[in-house]
Amino acid sequence: MSADHHHLNDLRERAQRWLDDDPDPASRAELQAVLDQFPASAPELADRFAGPLTFGTAGLRGPLRAGPNGMNLAVVTQAAAGLVAWLTAQGGAGPLVIGYDARTGSRAFAERTAQVATGAGRPALLLPGPLPTPVLAHAVRQHGAVAGVMVTASHNPPQDNGYKVYLGAQLGGELGAGAQIVPPADAEIESAIRAVGPLAAVPLGPPGQLLDDTLVASYVQQAVAVIAPGGPRDLKVAYTPLHGVGAAVLTAAFTDAGFPTPRLVPDQAEPDPKFPTVAFPNPEEPGAVDRLTALADTTGADLAIANDPDADRCAVVIREPADSTAGREALGWRMLRGDEVGALLADHLMRRGRAGLYATTIVSSALLRAMCTARDLPYDETLTGFKWIVRAGGGSTPLVFGYEEALGYCVAPDHVRDKDGITAALTIAELAAGLKAEGRSLADRLDELAAEFGVHHTDQLSVRVDDLVIADAMARIRAATPNALLGEALIESRDLLPAADVVILRSATARVVIRPSGTEPKLKAYLEVVQPVVAGDIATARHRAATAVAELHAEVAASLGV
């Protein structure tokens, strides 16, 4: 028997064993249809069985399809059984709380997780419907749960789904109470998942307890408490949840806080797992907020806000000031970068007297560090991901604010110990309304920060490629690390392996951080140039910085070979 023939037989036998154990008639039929086309379907089958989805610190995430290399009821059953077994082995007592978004399969995956938990004798609390991820993170703390599961793929394409795990105080400690897992928990849960036997032997119990809307009311009440009472509230906001689950909770929070009800993009207001009006359901993708800015124009909005589909991220779009020097008279719209929103939120909290630790990540702008240094406030910098941000400083100083440049902000760590796009939206609205009452805008506040700390211009080189190309590019930059950026000698060159697949390069005025994305098949390079403002001429400093960043973009792309 040839090696190829043996390989094909082995592939077909593995597929048949999976099919026999799959608890979902729909995915069994899907896989059987692929098997019926065998051996012509061997490449597709090999992809589905290339290996299991790996449970990492972001949990599981992958395409909805039958087989171990996809998100389906069999994979979720195995993951839930492994998680519950791990919780028991750790001595964790108490309920498992489970949330889900409106993606295809999310509710079924959440309900199966609850059945696996109750089948193992553990109480399961199921959120009352498709809700934002921050509500699940809040519920873990609110109900003293041992852990939480959120079924979501956040802003991934429509064909994906995912499975994120949060720990309660028992196993996560005070810093990790209601936060996403960190090593070694991810590897231990992965090992427990692999130890699960036949799925037919996994006991399934009752559906668990369905929580009522008092949970959402509790979340909204605490969200509203994030902003100061009695401040200006005259602000017209245009809003889109991008076909996700944020609209009802965000509008409730805005109205309870005393703001006018935001105007919603009509054909993006209701959850739709197909995300029909956008190429990718991510506010940062080109064209994703076109309908939002059109609505903002027609309604005369002061501010436009978008959440991603599970509402843990927040995008802010502002009216551009007229610029006669550039020949631009009509007011257009510009989405603020995550670093700009992060600086605005941090500055706002500092001005409100919020003392404590301010934190961001290694890929974010250096502006927050400069602000904290000038204002004598504690600062910390972590690896990417909110699982690290909320644990910044090791607990020596209470965290009061954390952000990452990918539109994630935590303005109330005691409320939600994760990124929260709804409380971030409320806080930016509070700032914008206060500035409007003074006849100013968010753009004016950004200019004030630039005048004080210099223009911090950030950009990103992001390439959607396969894992092999990513590995080659990272190997290339390590083998031939540049000794200068923009003609300036490096003053820092760091490789964070083995702790993280990250390379950091810095000169006197430029900084580059290169890493693979943790959630998508992308290679990312984070770019920053800092230019001082001379004689109050902010426009010239911005122009110099933008020109330099464009040059840096080309320079880094050439070094990476992408």
pLDDT of residue 305: 98
pLDDT for residue 264 is more than 50: yes
pLDDT of residue 521: 78
Known active-site residue 154: yes
Q: What's the Cα-to-Cα distance from 115 to each of 101, 131, 151, rounded to whole Å?
A: 18, 20, 15
Tell me what the mean pLDDT of segment 135-145 comes to: 97
pLDDT tens digit sequence for 195-222: 999 999 999 999 999 999 999 999 999 9
Supply the DSSP string of 254-311, one letter for each residue: HHHTTPPPPEE-GGGSS--TT-TT-SSS-TTSTTTTHHHHHHHHHHT-SEEEEE-TTS
Residue 527 in tokens: 């770019």
Tell me what the mean pLDDT of segment 133-160 comes to: 97
pLDDT tens digit sequence for 401-459: 999 999 999 999 999 999 999 999 999 999 999 999 999 999 999 999 999 999 999 99
Catalytic residue among 154, 364, 365, 559: 154
pLDDT of residue 463: 84
Mean pLDDT for all residues in the chain: 95
Tell me what the mean pLDDT of segment 475-485 comes to: 92
Percentage of the residues of the chain whose pLDDT score is greater than 90 = 89
Confidence of residue 322 (pLDDT cuts 50, 70, 90): low
Tell me what the mean pLDDT of segment 361-374 comes to: 97
pLDDT of residue 505: 97
Nearest in space to 504 (alpha carbons), one of 530, 474, 471, 531: 474
pLDDT tens digit sequence for 64-75: 999 999 999 999
Confidence of residue 466 (pLDDT cuts 50, 70, 90): confident
pLDDT for residue 298 is more than 80: yes
Confidence of residue 323 (pLDDT cuts 50, 70, 90): low
Residue 9 in tokens: 């037989």
Confidence of residue 3 (pLDDT cuts 50, 70, 90): low
pLDDT for residue 263 is more than 80: yes
pLDDT of residue 404: 97
Tell me what the mean pLDDT of segment 374-400 comes to: 96
User: Which neighbouring-strand residues pair with 515?
Assistant: 524
Nearest in space to 333 (alpha carbons), one of 363, 376, 303: 303
User: Which of the residue ranges 21-35, 455-469, 500-514 would you say has the lowest mean pLDDT?
Assistant: 455-469
Residue 172 in tokens: 């996560």
Residue 63 in tokens: 């395409």
N-terminal to C-terminal alpha carbon distance within the chain: 43
Nearest in space to 69 (alpha carbons), one of 54, 46, 53, 45: 53
> Would you report the helix, strand and coil content of the chain in percent, each value rounded to 5?
40, 20, 40
Report the C-alpha gap between 97 and 143 in whole angstroms.
8
Confidence of residue 56 (pLDDT cuts 50, 70, 90): confident
Indicate the pairing of strand 399-404 with strand 488-489: unpaired
Q: What's the Cα-to-Cα distance from 100 to each of 377, 470, 478, 499, 549, rounded to whole Å?
A: 37, 31, 40, 31, 40
Q: Are 271 and 102 in contact (CB under 8 A)?
A: yes
Q: Are 125 and 80 in contact (CB under 8 A)?
A: no
Confidence of residue 327 (pLDDT cuts 50, 70, 90): very low
Distance between alpha carbon 512 and the CA centroid of its chain, in Å?
A: 21
Tell me what the mean pLDDT of segment 142-147 comes to: 97
DSSP-derived secondary structure letter, 420: -
pLDDT tens digit sequence for 162-185: 999 999 999 999 899 999 999 999
Indicate the pairing of strand 503-506 with strand 488-489: unpaired
pTM above 0.75, yes or no: yes
Name the more confident of 6 and 348: 348
Report the amino acid identity of residue 167: L
Number of H helices, E strands in the chain: 18, 23
- Sole residue written with tokens 């070694």: 184
Q: For the stretch 334-371, what's the b/e string if a residue is b when 16 or more beta carbons lie within 10 angstroms of its beta carbon?
A: ebbbbbbbbbbbbbbbbeeeeeebbbbbbbbbbbbbbb
User: Which of the residue ranges 52-61, 92-101, 187-196 would you say has the lowest mean pLDDT?
Assistant: 52-61
Q: Hey, what domains does the chain have and what are their CATH numbers?
A: 1-50 (no CATH), 54-212 (3.40.120.10), 217-449 (3.40.120.10), 455-560 (3.30.310.50)
Report the amino acid identity of residue 196: V
In degrees and rounded to multiples of 5, residue 542 shows phi and psi of -65, -40
Containing H/E element for 148? strand 147-151
